[in-house]
Amino acid sequence: MLVDLHVHTVVSSPCSHIDPRQLIHAARRLGLDAVCGTEHEEMEGAQVAWELGRELGFPVLRGVEVYTDCGDMLVFGLEIPSFPLQVPFEELHRWVREADGLIIPAHPCRSDRGFHDRLGPERAEFLLARVDALEVKNGGNTEEANLRAEAVALEYGIPGVGGSDAHFLMQLGRCLTVFENDIESEEDLVREVKAGRCRAAYAHEVEGIELSRLWR
């Protein structure tokens, strides 16, 4: 199953140019099996896209991208309508664990500085011991940044996932996550990622995905 785990829409992400209805039609045309709405600090956009997905018969999963003192985190399974502009990682981690949710550092190695150098060795070790996966393929990253993230995930035995981080339709599906089993709900997503039954991929690595379909 092919899922883009990181997409923003105009509903709750002012930096995005993607309308939720256009998102669903484009995802289906592209060959994706589901998409995740992950707005900045707000759940409203994901909820709107989820409701449209139910109407149009296409799976949309609800998440959020939360800015913390350790960087941006993709969160699933935590039903809080909105978040402060910066949340202490420890506090977010506690909320996610209480909800039996999922926490994934987004584009963790986008900076040229190493992961441990950026956060400091002790803070990096603290973070990596508490997250469920790493976004090792991000559509807005350079290949080098994604390779650095993959190396960290491999070293620490953390599952790697992929998402486009799309703010424009042309970016949709550039990176995605391949799941071994069907994902029909946030609960399925949480379970499968925690079990490591997934892998990150670029669109060109996946049979059946052609980005040119978005413009046909």
Tens of pLDDT, residues 158-208: 999 999 999 999 999 999 999 999 999 999 999 999 999 999 999 999 988
Q: pLDDT per residue over 4-62, tens digit each? A: 999 999 998 888 899 999 999 999 999 999 999 999 999 999 999 999 999 999 999 99
The residues, any chain, with a CB within 8 Å of residue 211's CB and separated by 6 or more, are 30, 170, 173, 174, 203
209 and 2 Cβ atoms separated by less than 8 Å: yes
Residue 215 pLDDT: 59
Residue 111 pLDDT: 77
Q: Is the pLDDT of residue 216 over 60?
A: no
Q: pLDDT per residue over 57-116, tens digit each? A: 999 999 999 999 999 999 999 989 999 989 999 999 999 999 999 999 999 998 776 678
Domain boundaries, the chain: 2-12+30-215
Residue 210's pLDDT band (cuts 50, 70, 90): confident
Residue 214 pLDDT: 66
CB count within 10 Å of CB 154 equals 12
Residue 2's pLDDT band (cuts 50, 70, 90): very high
User: What pTM did the predictor assign?
Assistant: 0.95
- When pLDDT is averaged across residues 123-144 and rounded to a whole number, the result is 96
For the segment(s) 2-12+30-215, the CATH number from 2.30.30.240, 3.30.565.10, 3.30.1330.40, 3.20.20.140 is: 3.20.20.140
Residue 14 pLDDT: 86
For the chain, the residue count is 216
Read off φ and ψ for residue 196, nearest 5 degrees.
75, 20
4 and 176 Cβ atoms separated by less than 8 Å: yes
